Chain A
Amino acid sequence: MRDRTFAPSRMLIYLVVLLVAVAYLVPLIVVVLNSLRSNEEIAQTSMIGWPLRWAFGNYLTAWSDFCVAQTCAGIRPYMLNSALVTIPATIFSTLLGAVAGYAVSLWRFRGDQWIYGIVTLGIFLPQQMRLLPWTIVLRDMGLMNTLTGLVMIHTIQGLSFTVLFCRNYYVSVPQELIRAARIDGAGFFRIFWRIILPLSPPILVVTVIWQFTHIWNEFLYGVTFTTGQQQPVTAALIALSAAVADIPQNGVQSAAVMIAALPTLLIYLIGGKYFVRGLTAGAVK
């Protein structure tokens, strides 16, 4: 067969792909480079430029010394806040989504499709629309300005996606497995635990990556429902840029942004191949 790697049409495709990739990566490259330049250097030259002297200290400053909203502990406490919200909310929403997806896909009951439809409707509701209801709920439950409140919001909102993912995965599980297990004497949860869950790693990886990334990067709820020391890192980054309006600290800010983005990047690098595979696969056999 003829080698088509260097055919003109191929080259055109590569060119387009390359351009798109560059367009996507430019902001990231600028931030990475700035995170390694001192504030003075950026102020004296330009926002875009190669580091003249590597300023790794930016990261240390951003992590533990930088002043955000009158406290000078860097973004470390806010990273911890984000972790304390993201990890439980990811686990809860994934597990609940798996159980609910299993229920609506493999246990037919009256109104199951309605429940599934209403839960997944949440995907299409704009976030801003949900702010007011959540404000009332958090106020009445006494969870305003708490991490617990955010965990609850993200768990419940996340269900729309996790139920969708898991249900669509479980519909390909043969019904006969459930029937066989029922005759064997297993109930709803035993079947889930012993038969369905061991089949689920591909979809659970997808759901965990999805949930972790979305909850970690979420900004609106964080900035609306928490203040000061309770804020997740996405909200704190804004406070950080507001605090330094007088003297631009672009180097440290860039470093803070990089640190804040690191967990989701790591999750994607570790689980990315499962993510792509899990979204396209679905077969159990």
Chain B
Amino acid sequence: MAALSIRTLSKRYANLEVLKGINLDIESGEFTVLVGPSGCGKSTLLNIVAGLDRPSAGTIEIGGRVVNDVEPKDRDIAMVFQSYALYPSMTVRQNITFGMECRHVPKAEQEAALANVARLLQIEPLLGRKPSQLSGGQRQRVAMGRALVRDPLLFLFDEPLSNLDAKLRVEMRMEIKRLHQRIGATIVYVTHDQIEAMTMATRIAVMHHGEVQQFADPDTVYRYPANLFVARFMGSPPMNTMKARLEAEDGGPVVVIGAGRPDEARLRLQGYDAAASFVGRDIVVGIRPECIAEGNRGFSGACGAPVVVNAPVEMVEPTGAETIVLLRLGGESALARIAPDIRPVPGERAAFALDTRRICLFDPETERLIA
């Protein structure tokens, strides 16, 4: 059963179209992440699902029921906010039970549900405190407790980790994921952080300019980005995208970066049948930084020797776990992730191995993925 169905949903403010015909079907038990740069409409979409904002057109179904005209409290949802939105004058206990109090849940039931959630989130010692006496991570936990205690059909998270410091953010990220695995709740999670999306989601909806650019599982989004926007948005450092020409050689396609230049890079591809009609035309080629490595690297599962190019190194960024190298490939700049102990010298040339199996080809006109 679809826990949440969004049909041709649009939202405009005066003459600004924030959402343009959104269609999404989210299955029960899925962890869906809506990700996109700020202003892409993801928070507006979440607020409309919550009933805090009204759509201009389209329908929203939660658990098979159209809820367009249903009040937020009757939608069987719970929401965790970016600022946590804990009620400042109430204790943690009252914060968590407030929703049940509003619904006239019997006291004994409230206590049982509270005890359950407090144990799950390990906030039992905090129940008597006020939000102002809690740390950021503890507030975050309480905010989740307030949502969990309701046991709703749908959980909505609105950038819940963006107010935490980097270390805590990673911890809470894992904790939320573990929580999802344990209770199997249906979650719609909004974030602008593509790493959060990749690490937590079972499916990612990448949004931009009020449209869903791609809705797929994290591996597909990463490996086969639907268009150039998704390719450049997901991944850190982002995918290298370069102008190139597609040529044919011995019956197979060859990507030529910087065609005609003395240092042109020719990358022979295996497969990529879908690109046949683009032979002889300009394309945009996308190569993930991890597909460019030091010259003697063998990529796992690759048959035959990898493509090795000799390219000038412009800059080196050691990060500890790896070395990021800015190099020139056929005149176009590209980032490579190489082994941490290898430090090419800027200004000199070095050999780089390319994993050509994972190259993406895009149509330069439509910016869509070709193959």
Contact = CB atoms under 8 A, between A and B. Distances in A.
A179 B73 contact: no
Q: On chain A, which size bracket covers the interface?
A: 10 to 19
B81 A195 contact: no
Interface in B80-112: 81-83, 85, 87-90, 98-99, 102-103
A176 interface: yes
Contact of B73 (A183, A194, A284): A183
User: At the interface, is chain A mostly helix, strand, loop or mixed?
Assistant: helix
Nearest to A196: B89
B98 A176 contact: no
Contacts of B47: 179
Interface stretch (A42-50, A118-126, A133-141, A184-192): A184-192
Q: Report which residue of B72, B99, B102 has the largest number of chain A beta carbons within 10 angstroms of its beta carbon.
A: B102
B73 A176 contact: no
A181 B87 contact: yes
A156 interface: no
B345 interface: no
A180 interface: yes
Given A190-B102, A194-B98, A183 B79 contact: yes
Nearest to A284: B88
Interface residues of B, number: 24
B89 A185 contact: no
Contacts of B244: none
B85 A180 contact: yes
Nearest to A197: B89
Contact of A177 (B87, B102, B132): B87
A261 interface: no
B170 interface: no
Contact of B52 (A174, A182, A284): A182
Contact of A182 (B73, B82, B88, B103): B73
A27 interface: no
B52 A179 contact: yes
B88 A199 contact: yes
A184 B83 contact: no
Given A177-B87, A195-B87, A186 B82 contact: no
B185 to A, nearest CB: 16
B50 interface: yes
B87 A185 contact: no
Nearest to B104: A185
Contact of A183 (B72, B82, B90, B132): B72
A184 B88 contact: no
B52 A185 contact: no
B78 interface: yes
Contacts of A8: none
B98 A186 contact: yes
Q: Report which residue of A174, A176, A184, A285 has the largest number of chain B beta carbons within 10 angstroms of its beta carbon.
A: A184
A185 B103 contact: yes
B77 interface: yes
Contacts of A182: 52, 71-73
A56 B327 CA distance: 97
A198 interface: yes
Contacts of B103: 185
A176 B82 contact: yes
A190 B98 CA distance: 11
Given A186-B98, A198-B88, 13 more contacts: A177-B87, A179-B52, A180-B146, A181-B87, A182-B73, A183-B50, A183-B77, A184-B102, A194-B87, A194-B98, A195-B89, A198-B89, A285-B132
Interface of A: 174, 176-177, 179-186, 190, 194-195, 198-199, 284-285
19 contacts: A176-B83, A177-B85, A177-B87, A179-B72, A179-B79, A180-B79, A182-B52, A182-B73, A183-B77, A184-B98, A185-B73, A190-B102, A194-B98, A195-B90, A198-B88, A198-B89, A198-B90, A199-B88, A199-B89
Closest 10 CB pairs of A and B: A198-B89, A185-B102, A184-B99, A185-B73, A180-B85, A176-B85, A176-B81, A183-B72, A186-B102, A182-B72
